[in-house]
Amino acid sequence: MDAPALRYPFETPPGEGEAIEVAPGILWMRLPLPMKLDHVNVYALDEGDGWTVVDTGFDSRRARAIWGALLAGPLRGKPVTRVLVTHHHPDHIGLAGWFQTMGAELLTTRTAWLLARMLVLDVEEVPKPESLAFWRAAGMDAEIYAKRATERPFNFADIVTALPLGYTRIAEGDRLRLGGRNWQVRIGNGHAPEHATLWCEDAALILGGDQLLPSISPNLGVYATEPGADPVGEWLASCESFQPHSRPDQMVLPGHKLPFTGLPLRLTQMIDNHHGALARLLDHLTEPRTAAQCFPPLFKREIGEAEYGLALVEAVAHLNHLLRTEQARRTPGDDGAMYWQRSGPT
């Protein structure tokens, strides 16, 4: 029998500085992002004398002002006593340190905390030689490479408050009491290492972060920091590990887009989407290609400069998975690029 379709209990998201109660004692709010994906969802769980906030948005003047309005308005002047961060990406952990300076306890996974602490300290004025070599190996477009080689790259510290020393670790299988409910921690990987999701034991609710999104796929990228990584394999394994725990009636509160039900179908879709992309990529590798030459079968649309970097790291991720599963091989070219071709008969 086919799994029930995805449904969206709330058709309209909250406005800036506003909140929607998605379940008793759970508020859904949004913070703006200066990119194509122009928002991140954050949630507040009522603890009686304070709030547990799940994810925070970027650190910016505008975001701090919006949080000020939220604290004075929908959060009724009660303090944020705990911040739970699902993963280390800036739109989720950006203001966690700011809340900590106001007395909040930080809960997150060990990998998320360590990565965020490290990346805040890693400020670059120009890209490191390892990044340049990684881009050349991926076959980055020559004009884009020349531009990015000399400009200041994105720095974590630009939009993430430094994290004070000390946090509370959460890990696979932990049970937490948040907002008057019991939650179990289930860890996913692929989009971000040790990404926490929280599954309510008392109600059909899941805090999904970016691991469980309804209508978009999160980026699965490989970077110069770990060029041999296989986030696609980790992502597929995570989706499969969640399937036995998923039910059609669970409302997922995601990091982006709208809350939804129909998680069994969505997990199947996310698995099938990447298997389909890998199959198209194999068909494309009948002759040697660089990662940058693999955009058409993977994305099936034109990739602009603004999204080029994310597309490139995702292409490498899918190629790495084919290499890890012995479906493709790679050969260095005289131009510094790595050329990929399918293994076995074409």
Residue 4 has what pLDDT? Answer: 85
Residue 344 has what pLDDT? Answer: 73
Residue 189 has what pLDDT? Answer: 98
Buried residues in 182-214 as b, exposed as e (16+ CB within 10 A): ebbbbbbbbbbbbbbbbbbeeeebbbbbbbbbb
The Cα–Cα gap between 254 and 197 comes to: 10
Q: What residues pair up with 107 in beta bridges, in sequence order?
A: 84, 168
Query: And the tokens for 166?
Result: 């000390």
- pTM (predicted TM-score): 0.96
Q: Which segments in the chain show pLDDT lower than 70?
A: 1-2, 345-346
To the question of domain 20-123+153-286 being in CATH 3.60.15.10, the answer is yes
Amino acid at 256: H
Residue 128 has what pLDDT? Answer: 96
Domain extents in the chain: 20-123+153-286
Give rounded-to-5 percent helix, strand, coil for the chain: 35, 20, 45
Neighbours of 297 (CB within 10 A): 20
Find the DSSP H helices in 43-109: 61-72, 90-93, 96-101
Residue 41 has what pLDDT? Answer: 98
Residue 2 has what pLDDT? Answer: 66
Compute the residue count for the chain: 346
